Amino acid sequence: MRNIKLTIEYDGRRYLGWQRLGDSDKTIQGKIEGVLKQILEEDEIEIIGSGRTDAGAHARGQVANFKTENEMSLAKMTELLNRYLPRDIIAKKVEEVPDRFHARYNAKAKKYSYYVWDNMIPSAFEGFHSFYYPEDLDMEKMQQACQKLIGTHDFIGFSSLKKSKKSTVRTIDEIAIDREDDLLHFTFVGEGFLYNMVRIMMGTILEIGAGKLPLSAIDEVFAKKVRADAGMTVPAQGLFLDEVYYNESIK
């Protein structure tokens, strides 16, 4: 058995997210598995993703792995995947990795981007991959909000989870804001993220920047662990999974 690692790029607008559902033709996982079964001529192939992405969210560096007995070369596998996959899903890299590599369990950290269109006039192009939020944003307050979110905290109040048997403590290593003309680019790097956590942190940062929430709201959410005290859940179209980090020894 070979263990194959995929690095995948996709535009999520047409899909119901990463995870295969009953109608797998509308998920990223389902589309890729369908093509792999076709080109490798195997009845059962299951790809394991580093994690789920929401309906409508995108990826520049989603990682997945699967097992196969087929001896097809990696170059041929890459060529056929990109020939038969829809044009909005691309296999950027196909590698053979050690048998113990697991895309989800071995992930050590992830990097996400979120884009906000910061102009009163919307964009015909950027609107597909960013959130149009026509508010007067205080950059200094947003920077302060980012600093409050960095570190190790219980982020249950910044997630859509009602409750969890597993720990909801996570460590955020970096949150940065960059401006590219009218486009604000927010970067989140951390060991892991809860369901909708990036989108709710992002909504909280924006509402603080717009003066709709006080900076102290972040402390309140950490203290009370109540989702309603945080900001909105921003739309998925501005969210990108940029990179998944692994230990060098298991790549």
Name residue 11's amino acid: D
- Dist CA 223 CA 80 (whole Å): 51
Task: List active site positions.
Answer: 54
